[in-house]
Structure 1
Amino acid sequence: MRVLLTGSSGRLGRVLAPRLVAAGHVVTGLDVVPGADTVALGSVADRAFVDRVFADHGIEAVIHAGGLHQPDMGRLPRSAFVETNVAGTLNLIEAAARAGHDRFLFTSTTSLMISAAIHQGTGHRGAGHRGAGHAAAWIDEDLAPLVPRNIYGVTKLAAEQLCRLAHLEHGIGVVVLRTGRFFAESATIDGIGAENRMANELLHRRLTVEDAAEAHLVALERAPSLGFETLILSAPTPFVRGDCAALMTDAAALIARRFPDAPALYAARGWVLPRRIDRVYSAARSERLLGFRCRTDFRTLLDGMAGGAPLPFAAAEGVQDRLLERC
């Protein structure tokens, strides 16, 4: 297929584009930032530009992985988020509908599921209940109501709803992929280094960018048969709903029971296990409907550490790279 990939210069796009090519697709990369796989330089908010790209490249399917992201909130007005994340998504959907497409992928974010209460660790008394933060929040596709805590989440949720309408009104097979964290970290926070934090997050809210790219490839093939689906992408968690209370009181002890080799492997690197985990993303639905399971999880991380293998992620080197990685 001739695939339009937005965000082609971003962290996900840089990994996904060559994988699409290797799978036999012809990729047209679109981004506001130049990159190795970006041939269309411009914004999805520019409808005339989007229409020209579709016409010039004979686009047959769209993977919309671009947009403004959380780090952009400090430097751009809210109107820019609406123009790019909402109006830009609508421009792509309408172009896809006019072209008679049967599939459309939208890269969304688990961030829009995190209310201010969950973010502060005060939103759940127990699994499925709101209260005084006595238990970690169990995050799956049934979580409701969704009350995003910032303009980034609000506009991504609005774009998801436009995708839903595209399926209802035009019959396009649409898959919304709410990705967990796959961008690199750079800073040390509360004495915990970036690689240590990323390793901890594989337990409950992270996946590698390679797994994120592979999931998009699978979803591209499955979209027409799925109709409309919203799926969480994250490494498979070792936890279950019944662990939510323990995760808020003594996560390290629970992790040590599930992974007896973890404390020693962590200590050898000077790392620490998390004392408290306030949320867990469940990717069970995406595993069931896509038949896709992330290759890298906490168990494979520990096995690699024991065998001296390189970590499946690396700390970011600079601010600019971090901005691109959110694209």
Structure 2
Amino acid sequence: MHILLTGSSGWLGRYLAPRLRALGHEVTGLDVAPGTDTDVVGSVADRALIDRLFGERGIEAVIHGGALHKPDIVRYPNQAFIDVNSSGTLNLLEAAVAHRASRFVFTSTTSLMISSTIREARGETAVWIDEEMAPLEPRNIYGVTKLAAEQLCRLIHADHGLPVIILRTSRFFPEDDDTHLALSGENMKANELLHRRLTVEDAAKAHIVALARAPEIGFGTFIVSAPTPFARDEVAALKADAPAVIARHFPDAAALYARRGWQLPPSIDRVYDASLAEGVLGFRCETDFAAVLDALRHDAELPFAHDADYVSPKEVFVAN
């Protein structure tokens, strides 16, 4: 297939584009910043550009990973998020319909499921988060515009039958969290693989599976995150004493962490349940918290990427 990949210069794009090509697909990479896998520098908000690309390149499928993200909130106005995340998605969807593309995969985010109440951990238990959670009350413009884009995906599928798979990915960024700095970046990423993170490699694989399954499924929304070891009936204990719960599942975790100088999370406020993706989409992340502990046991390389100095290519491009 000839695939239009948006966000091709970004963190996900640099892992996804080579995998698509290795499978025999032709890829047109579109990004606002130049990159190894970017053929066209431009924005999804540019409708004329999108229409031209579909017409000139014979685009048969779309993987839409390009977006403004949560760290961009301090750099861009609300209108930019609407133009890129919402209107840009509509541009791609309508072009896909007009040019009879066979499928559309949309990179969404679990962030749109996190209200201010969840973010501030006000509840007495951890929140068990799956695709049935409602109502959705995103806490910032990033979440609002990604949720709007999801609804546009649903509407276009309903009106035109375009097969669409929405992947609500949990965290896979390589840099440090811009708001939680109490732990080292590697320690925090390891902790998050218990309940709210996946590797970028697994994120890329999920998109490839979604691309293959979209015509069969028709429409679906899936949380994509490393499989959690926890059960729904552990939510109260996770909020009150997470290390005790972790010890039941991984008896040597505390000792392995201590050897590294790391800390287990004292409390866990949310758990992403990715079981629907496994059961319906047929995708399960390969890397989980057990893989982290295995690496610690054998003094091996950690099974996830961490780069405290990572800067989005679009910001480097703008700065230069």
Q: Give the match's secondary structure for 1:9.
A: coil
Structure 1: any 5+ residue segments left out of the alignment?
123-132
Deviation at 1:62, TM superposition (A): 0.2
- Shift in Å, 1:297: 0.4
**How far 1:166 sits from its partner (Å)?**
1.3
Structure 2-normalised TM-score?
0.95
Give the Å deviation of 1:321: 4.0
Per-residue CA distance 1:261-314 (angstroms, 9 max, x = gap): 111111111001000000000000000112111100011221122122211223
Counterpart residue number, 1:56: 56
| Distance in 2 between residues matched to 1:248 and 1:242, nearest whole Å | 12
Root-mean-square deviation (CA, aligned residues, Å) is: 1.5
Aligned to 1:278: 269
**Does structure 1 conserve the Cα–Cα contact (< 8 Å) formed by 2:55 and 2:99?**
no
Q: 2: CA distance between counterparts of 1:187 and 1:116?
A: 18
Q: Percent identity?
A: 62
How far is 1:322 from its partner?
A: 8.7
Which residue among 222, 241, 245 is the counterpart of 2:236? 245
Matched with 2:167 is 177
The alpha-carbon deviation at position 185 of structure 1 amounts to 3.1
State the aligned residue count. 315
Instruction: Provide the C-alpha distance between the structure 1 equivalents of 2:314 and 2:247, rounded to a whole number of angstroms.
Output: 35
The counterpart of 1:146, out of the listed 108, 123, 136, is 136
Whichever residue aligns with residue 184 of structure 1, its letter is: P
Segments of 5+ residues of structure 2 without an aligned counterpart are 316-320
Letter paired with 1:174: V
Retained in 2: the 8 A contact 1:40–1:53? no
CA offset digits 1:175-228 (Å, max 9, x no partner): 000000000233694541110000000000000000000010001000011111
Equivalent residues of 2:81, 2:141 under 8 A apart? yes
Contact 1:9 1:31 in 2 (8 A): yes
Contact 1:5/1:17 (CA < 8 Å) preserved in 2? yes
Residues 259-274 of structure 1 aligned to structure 2 (within 5 Å):
259-274=250-265
Out of 306-315 and 277-286, give the one that drifted further.
306-315
Residues 110-121 of structure 1 aligned to structure 2 (within 5 Å) = 110-121=110-121
What is the aligned partner in structure 1 of residue 3 from structure 2?
A: 3
1:37 aligns with 2:37: yes
Q: The residue matched to 1:5 in structure 2 has which SS?
A: strand
SS in 2 for 1:37: coil
- Does structure 1 residue 300 correspond to structure 2 residue 291? yes
Amino acid at match of 1:267: A
> In 1, Cα distance between the equivalents of 2:275 and 2:215?
21
CA contact (8 A) 1:187 1:193 kept: no
Describe the SS at the equivalent of 1:38: coil
Q: Cα deviations across residues 39-80 of structure 1 (Å, max 9, x unaligned)?
A: 011000000011111122110000000011111110111011
Q: Contact 2:243 / 2:264 at 8 angstroms: preserved in 1?
A: yes
Mapping for residues 198-213 of structure 1, pairs under 5 Å: 198-213=189-204
Q: 2:98 & 2:275 partners in 1: Cα distance? A: 34
Determine whether 1:13 maps to 2:23. Answer: no
SS of residue matched to 1:138: strand
Cα distance in 2, alignment partners of residues 204 and 323 from structure 1: 29
Q: How does 1:44-193 map to 2 (within 5 A)?
A: 44-122=44-122, 133-186=123-176, 189=180, 191-193=182-184
Cα pair 2:175 2:309 within 8 Å, conserved: no
3-state SS in 2 of match to 1:105:
strand
Residue of structure 2 in register with 1:126 after alignment: none
Q: State the AA in 1 paired with 2:109.
A: T
Cα distance in 2, alignment partners of residues 321 and 313 from structure 1:
18
Structure 1 contact 185–322 (Cα < 8 Å) conserved = no
SS for the counterpart of 2:167 is: strand
Distance 2:239 2:58 in 1: 51
1:87 corresponds to which letter in structure 2? S
Q: TM-score normalized by structure 1?
A: 0.93
Asked if the contact 2:8/2:37 (under 8 Å) is kept, the reply is yes
Number of the residue aligned with 1:320:
311
Measure the CA separation in 2 of the matches of 1:277 and 1:97.
43
1:150 corresponds to which letter in structure 2? Answer: N
Q: How far off its partner does 1:110 sit?
A: 0.1
Work out whether residues 62 and 103 of structure 2, in 8 Å CA contact, stay in contact via their aligned partners in 1.
Answer: yes
Paired residues of 2:33 and 2:313 also in contact (CA < 8 A):
no
The aligned residue for residue 318 of structure 2 is: none
